[in-house]
Amino acid sequence: MKATDRHKLIDRIKTIEGLTDDERSALLGLLRETKTYGLVWEDKPEEVEERLRAELPVLVEDKDRAILGGG
């Protein structure tokens, strides 16, 4: 919902007859809520991170698996 549409709706809710103050307040509160979406990563250690602190992997060339260019 665009901000201008939201403001128009808030103004409209303020003028609606037949609503109690609590109902009006609840509706306005719902419109003013902002929802956020996204990914959240838990802050917990991974086993691989712990192992890498003590063990440094060493890469060894395997010539049998070499990718050769040519053509």
**Residue 10 near residue 29 (C-beta atoms within 8 A):** no
* Residue 42 structural domain: 3-54
Is the pLDDT reported for residue 71 higher than 80? no
Residue 67 lies in a domain: no
Residue 42 lies in a domain: yes
Is the pLDDT reported for residue 9 higher than 80? yes
CA distances from 23 to 58, 69, 71 (A): 66, 72, 76
Residue 29 lies in a domain: yes
Residue 59 lies in a domain: no
The percentage of residues in the chain with a pLDDT greater than 90, rounded to a whole number, is: 25
Q: Return the pLDDT at 61.
A: 94
pLDDT per residue as tens digits for the range 43-63: 888 888 888 888 988 999 999
Number of domains in the chain: 1
The mean pLDDT value for 5-9 works out to 87
pTM of the full structure: 0.42
